[in-house]
Chains A and B, each alone.
Chain A
Amino acid sequence: GENVEQHPSTLSVQEGDSAVIKCTYSDSASNYFPWYKQELGKRPQLIIDIRSNVGEKKDQRIAVTLNKTAKHFSLHITETQPEDSAVYFCAASVQTGANNLFFGTGTRLTVIP
């Protein structure tokens, strides 16, 4: 099955700086890569996703890049704010059949005011 690795496990940045979280995946058939944000005690919420026919996608301060050849994708958050503090999960799936998502182990991001 798919194996998703995520780094780093913790990340602290100063408010206003950028944060980058990286993930690799093992199954070359994976073609859908979402990112979820989970605040303490809350459910994961989708913040951005990308499909394999796209190399980059941006939504305001958040962007995701995908390198299919190297099988890795990254989340970029610019101009970080204290409310960006949360655990971020990457995931990968093949968008046919059951579309099971395989998650990374998460990155705890702390934005220091």
Chain B
Amino acid sequence: NAGVTQTPKFRILKIGQSMTLQCTQDMNHNYMYWYRQDPGMGLKLIYYSVGAGITDKGEVPNGYNVSRSTTEDFPLRLELAAPSQTSVYFCASTDNMSRGISYGYTFGSGTRLTVV
């Protein structure tokens, strides 16, 4: 089991450029999430998905888009990058909550993005 895999690990973007952050998990988790972590701050939820074909906005969705065409993959798209999007991005997944079993989130290793 690789767990949650994120690519790339680092990226520098110019203002106005676009990119996709990749996230894939091999644990057959239904629930997947994208968070951003700014220096000295906690994690803020960008988007989440409760299953293939279903996505919804979190606390800070502006400037981002997601898709969930398969259970395994949950890419995050940045359109027209802005300096305010400089952050570390974490993808996470967890098991189906309706079974009442939770072992917490499994996080990917993160993507450090700088917009200049």
Question: Which residues 33-60 of B sit at the A interface, judged by CB distance below 8 A?
Answer: 33, 35, 40-45, 48, 50, 56, 58-59
Partner of B110, one of A32, A43, A45: A43
The answer to whether B31 touches A32, judged by C-beta atoms less than 8 angstroms apart, is: no
Count the A residues whose beta carbon is within 8 Å of the partner chain — how many? 26
A20 to chain B, nearest CB (A): 19
| CB-defined A-B contacts under 8 Å, sample of 27 | A1-B59, A9-B40, A32-B102, A43-B108, A43-B109, A44-B43, A44-B90, A44-B105, A46-B103, A46-B104, A89-B42, A95-B100, A97-B97, A98-B50, A99-B94, A99-B102, A100-B33, A100-B45, A100-B48, A101-B33, A101-B43, A101-B45, A103-B42, A104-B42, A105-B40, A105-B41, A106-B40
CB distance from B102 to the nearest CB of A (A): 6
| Chain B interface residues (CB < 8 Å from chain A) | 31, 33, 35, 40-45, 48, 50, 56, 58-59, 90, 94, 97-98, 100, 102-105, 107-110
Taking beta carbons and an 8 Å cutoff, which residues of A are in contact with B?
A: 1, 4, 6, 9, 32, 34, 36, 42-46, 49, 89, 95-106
Which residue in chain A gives the minimum CB-CB distance to B35? A103
Q: Which residues of A contact B94 (CB under 8 A)?
A: 99
Check B56–A98 contact: CB distance below 8 A.
Answer: yes
* Docked pose: A44 CA to B110 CA in angstroms: 10
